[in-house]
Structure 1
Amino acid sequence: GKGVLSGGIAAKIIKIARNAKKAIIVDPKGTNFGRYRGADLITPNQGELAAATGLKTETDAEVIKAARRLIKDHRFGAVLVTRSAKGMTIVPAPGKDGGGVIHLAAETQEVFDVSGAGDTVTATIAAALGAGADLSDAAALANVAAGIVVGKVGTAAVFNADLVAALHHQDLSSAEAKVLSQDQAKDMISLWRHQGHKIGFTNGCFDLLHPGHVSLLKQSRKACGRLVVGLNSDASVTKIKGAGRPVQSEAARAAVLASLESVDAVVIFVEKTPLQLIKTFKPDVLVKGADYNIDTVVGADVVKKYGGRVKLAKLEPGHSTSATIARMAKKPG
């Protein structure tokens, strides 16, 4: 059996769901697919399809033939076959969902871990169908989700922001794609570490970016393999700097930072300090300007405790956002 679904339990559940007019989606195990008879959708991988039918499943034609055998033998509404690097194939029963076979190419460019990919496909399709999508759109969304999750390290989740970014990747600039949520950044940091990179972190308001900021970021990037910049939110800047600040919105400041070659990711935080981000990301190198000393750098004690290091970057004299704003205010007109 499959967990608690041994014996005839699966068949009983399917009958109850069908009587309640609920969609039935099955991620199968074993070779006896008869226990899932009457399901609306079944999602075997290529190997499971071959084992259940005794047919070859290497080519598109062979996959379609085997899927149609399952539909005929067990009255499935459709079969979705996950095919690893070849993506997925959806074969509906005759007369359902237009009856046409759909092949979806794999979305991921690099596979790090396939753990949970099948679960991701099933869960995404279920959510999409439940929200009213048709099977082809639900499968396309699941394909994107699977491409995201196999590109992460370990058993990972796919966040809403991941899907939105992936669906709009052709329209997103590389700079916009660097602006990440905390969860997205955490996943990206795990991936970078898996690739052997040391993670650097610095933070600030970065209102009216000037050469001093650029120098700090360049020095920060030289000290690590990938640099994450914590950016104070608008509300956070106002609490620190006072009314009238920031001059530029958090979205504008994040876009400018992300456009710099030295910056690999930008994460906006709402707190007055980045301490929580530092605890979450655990950077190998924490960088601040030399106007601080190590004892006054927020998070320095945390980083040193787990073996990281704190770097004080050389300051470029004569550059200050506050001074620039003051000069602008004095100019007539």
Structure 2
Amino acid sequence: MSSDKKIVKQTEAAARIEKWQQEQLKVVFTNGCFDILHAGHVQYLEQAREAGDRLVIGVNTDASVRRLKGEKRPVCSETDRCRVLAALGSVDAVVMFDEDTPLKLIERLQPDVLVKGADWSVDTIVGADSVLARGGEVKTIKFLEGRSTTGVIERIIEAYCRSGSTEDGGD
């Protein structure tokens, strides 16, 4: 499936998940800002996908990221973040949510497995109660050491400041 077709509205995501579940496919859900995609994200998403047959990612909108991370974030727009995530082979659907937590989205989508990073305990994972109450699973995945969006941003700023550059060299 082309990556453009993986980016869906919440109603379409719910319909796809229902169809997959009718086909006896196990649907995994995770969420995050995914501001600057890095190797830690890729490994995390590949491991999340291994927990089931389909992987759906809930992505915070720009407004939600600003509320959670501050006015200087996100670095990349919600459209760009979704496009990059949708291009990954491990990802089957990408859906945005505007709330500060994905609780409403999780309750609407009703995934079979909810995955978060191991820095969360199951009892603090938003939506865990909902998934467990329906007989689903909640899993945590260890992060790739030394990889974070904040760390990437800090290294970019540090390199920029060291260079004294004011030019936009582009890529």
TM over 0.5: yes
Structure of greater relative contact order (alpha carbons < 8 Å, 6+ residues apart)? 2
The superposition leaves residues 98-126 of structure 1 with CA deviations (integer Å, 9 ceiling, x where unpaired) of: xxxxxxxxxxxxxxxxxxxxxxxxxxxxx
Q: How far 1:191 moved relative to its partner?
A: 1.3
Is 1:206 the equivalent of 2:34? yes
Q: How far 1:306 moved relative to its partner?
A: 1.4
Within a 5 Å distance, the mapping from 1:145-156 to structure 2 comes to none
Q: Which runs of 5+ in 2 are unaligned?
A: 166-171
SS in 1 for 2:96: strand
1:250 pairs with one of 78, 83, 86: 78
Is 1:226 the equivalent of 2:50? no
1:238 pairs with one of 43, 46, 66: 66
Runs of 4+ aligned structure 1 residues displaced above 6 Å come to none
How many residues align? The count is 161
Over aligned residues, Cα RMSD in angstroms? 1.0
Within a 5 Å distance, the mapping from 1:313-332 to structure 2 comes to 313-331=141-159, 332=161
Q: Which residue of 2 aligns with 1:24?
A: none
Q: Give me the whole-angstrom Cα distance separating, in 2, the residues matched to 1:296 and 1:239.
A: 20
Equivalent AA in structure 2 for residue 311 of structure 1? K
SS in 2 for 1:180: coil
Within a 5 Å distance, the mapping from 1:84-123 to structure 2 comes to none
Q: Give me the whole-angstrom Cα distance separating, in 2, the residues matched to 1:214 and 1:330.
A: 24
Equivalent AA in structure 1 for residue 158 of structure 2? K
Q: Which runs of 5+ in 1 are unaligned?
A: 1-172
Identity of aligned residues (%): 52
Equivalent AA in structure 2 for residue 221 of structure 1? R
Q: Give me the whole-angstrom Cα distance separating, in 2, the residues matched to 1:248 and 1:254.
A: 10
Rg larger for: 1
TM-score by length of 1: 0.48
Equivalent AA in structure 1 for residue 117 of structure 2? G
The superposition leaves residues 270-295 of structure 1 with CA deviations (integer Å, 9 ceiling, x where unpaired) of: 00110001101111100001111111
TM-score by length of 2: 0.91
Q: How far 1:216 moved relative to its partner?
A: 1.0
1:300 pairs with one of 124, 128, 132: 128
SS in 1 for 2:30: strand
Q: Give me the whole-angstrom Cα distance separating, in 1, the residues matched to 2:139 and 2:105.
A: 17
Within a 5 Å distance, the mapping from 1:1-333 to structure 2 comes to 174-331=2-159, 332=161, 333=165
